[in-house]
Amino acid sequence: MGLDINTKKAKKNAFRISKERGMGASRIRVPGGYLNAEILGMVQEIAQTYGNGIVHLTTRQGFEIEGIRLEDMDEINQKLQPIIEMLEINQTDPGSGYPASGTRNISACIGNNVCPFANYNTARLAKRIEKEVFPNDLHFKIACTGCANDCAKVRLHDFGIMGMTMPQYDPSRCVSCQACIKGCKSLSVDALRMENDKIIRDTEKCVGCGVCITKCPTRALTRSKKKYYKLTLMGRTGKRNPRLGKDFLVWADEENIIRIILNTYRFVKEYISPNAPGGKEHIGYIIDRVGFEEYKKWALDGVELMPETILNECLYWDGIHFDNKGK
């Protein structure tokens, strides 16, 4: 009896159809790449029972259990259930595995659970965004990174969320040691200088990375109570026109960023090409086609920015064009 598999359904169910006939891989999403080590044992068990014993750590911080037989998909979905529950993944039908795969795992750098430079808990935000956007078949890539170092490479994502902090300066605690100035110059953007033995911050240059704060030996420089984020838009890899995401909002807040992401789902639903192969079209190409002004209208619906948030009204992307050579 031949294998009769609905591959479209299987792919939406987070299985990969592999090179080898009849074989596939099971993809496990781990928002923020943050998980209880107990899950590793569960992954191991599935890999050894149903797969070839090999697990790939995916570029989006999930697991891909390789060498599974496509006819075992239902059984594997049962085995995935405790993992899905432990990671609190939104699900429509328990025991049926992942309800979608278009919107990819929300990835994140290690964040302020561990990293001294991170400006927020990236895993927490990744989980929160996952809760808001998943399941969805639309092809969205979202990533969170703790600071302007961008270890999570969020500029290669449709939505990049970069942690920022607004340095708070108390001149009465400052001893003019210049550790902040030296730190900013060597590790960041050289936005600080000294005048009358006190620090002046060039607010146009400052990227809110927080290096000055970690360098300050007296707590003259501290983090803002409010957590700030930079939202970069429409970075991507790909065959036609890979490019880095551009700053859309600077000094933005979490709520508005989530609103913009959800608004973008509505925008894509409205404008996605009916001919998109597998219903998959990078948002960036849709914006290229529709125009940024129209996108902005949709994105900012119901968004009330804080007074300190900088909104870049016009975004132009460059990047390498492989799609118009010789034209």
Partner 1 sequence: MGYQLSKQQAAEMFQKLSKTYDLFAPVRKKGEGCFSDTDVIRYEKVSSPEEIAWEAKSDYSFKEALLPINETLFYFTEDETLVPKAPAKARLVFLRSCDLHGVKRLDEIYLKNGYEDYYYARIRTQTKFVLMGCPSSCQSGFCVSMGTNRSDEYDAYLKPAGEVLYADFHCPQLEAYAAETGAAQAGVTPDYVTENHEKVTLPKKLSNESFSNKIWEEYGNRCIGCGRCNFVCPTCTCFTMQDIFYRDNEKNGERRRVWASCQVDGYTDMAGGLSFRKSQGDRFRFKVMHKIYDYEKRFGYPMCVGCGRCDDVCPEYISYANCVNRLAKEEEAHEE
CB of 34 to partner 1, least distance (A): 15
Question: Contact between 149 and partner 1 (CB under 8 A)?
Answer: no
Interface pick for partner 1 out of 127, 139, 157, 215 (rule CB under 8 A): 215
Q: Is the dihedral of CA 277, 11, 84, 34 positive or negative?
A: negative
Question: Tokens at residue 244, please?
Answer: 């880095």
- CA distances for 280 relative to 104, 254, 286, angstroms: 12, 27, 11
Q: Which is nearer to partner 1, 173 or 280 (CB)?
A: 173
Q: How far is the CB of 213 from partner 1 (least distance, A)?
A: 7
121 makes contact with partner 1 (CB under 8 A): yes
Q: Given the complex with partner 1, which of 48 and 176 has the nearer CB atom?
A: 176
Work out the burial of residue 325: count CB atoms within 10 Å of its CB; fewer than 13 is exposed, 13-18 middle, 19 or more buried.
Answer: exposed
- In the bound state with partner 1, the residue whose beta carbon lies nearer, of 55 and 181, is 181
Tell me which of 9, 205, 219, 289 binds partner 1, using CB under 8 A. Answer: 219
Q: Which stretch binds partner 1 (CB under 8 A): 66-74, 102-110, 191-199, 305-313?
A: 191-199
Total length of the chain: 327
Q: Which residues are paired to 143 by β-bridges?
A: 107, 160
Break the chain down into helix, strand, coil percent, rounded to 5: 35, 20, 50
Task: Tell me: does residue 210 bind partner 1 (CB under 8 A).
Answer: yes
Listed as own residue / partner, the contacts of 203-206 with beta carbons closer than 8 Å and 24 or more positions apart are: 206/167
At 120, is the secondary structure helix, strand, or coil?
coil
d(CA 163, CA 264): 21
Min dist CB 101 to partner 1, Å, is 33
Select 170 or 323, whichever has its Cβ closest to partner 1: 170
Tell me the site size for partner 1, rule CB under 8 A: 32
Using CB under 8 A as the binding rule, the residues of this chain from 225 to 284 that contact partner 1 are 225
For partner 1, which residue of 101, 107, 112, 232 counts as binding (CB under 8 A)? 112
Which runs of consecutive H residues, i.e. helices, occur in the chain?
Answer: 7-12, 38-49, 73-86, 122-133, 179-187, 211-215, 254-271, 283-290, 292-299
Nearest distance, CB of residue 128 and partner 1, angstroms? 16
Candidate ranges 24-32, 35-43, 152-160, 218-226; the one touching partner 1 (CB under 8 A): 218-226
Q: Is 145 a binder of partner 1 (CB under 8 A)? A: no
Q: Name residues contacting partner 1, limited to 156-185 (CB under 8 A).
A: 163, 165, 171-179
The bridge status of strand 23-28 relative to strand 15-17 is antiparallel
193 lies in the site for partner 1, by CB under 8 A: no
C-alpha–C-alpha distance, residues 160 and 144, integer Å: 6
Residue 200 as a binder of partner 1 (CB under 8 A): the answer is no
Which positions ≥6 away from 186 have C-beta within 8 Å? none
Give the one residue of 44, 136, 222, 309 binding partner 1; rule: CB under 8 A.
222
Residue choice 22, 53, 95, 116 for contact with partner 1 (CB under 8 A): 116
> Could you list the residues that contact partner 1 (CB under 8 A)?
112, 116, 118-121, 146, 163, 165, 171-179, 195-197, 210, 213-219, 222-223, 225
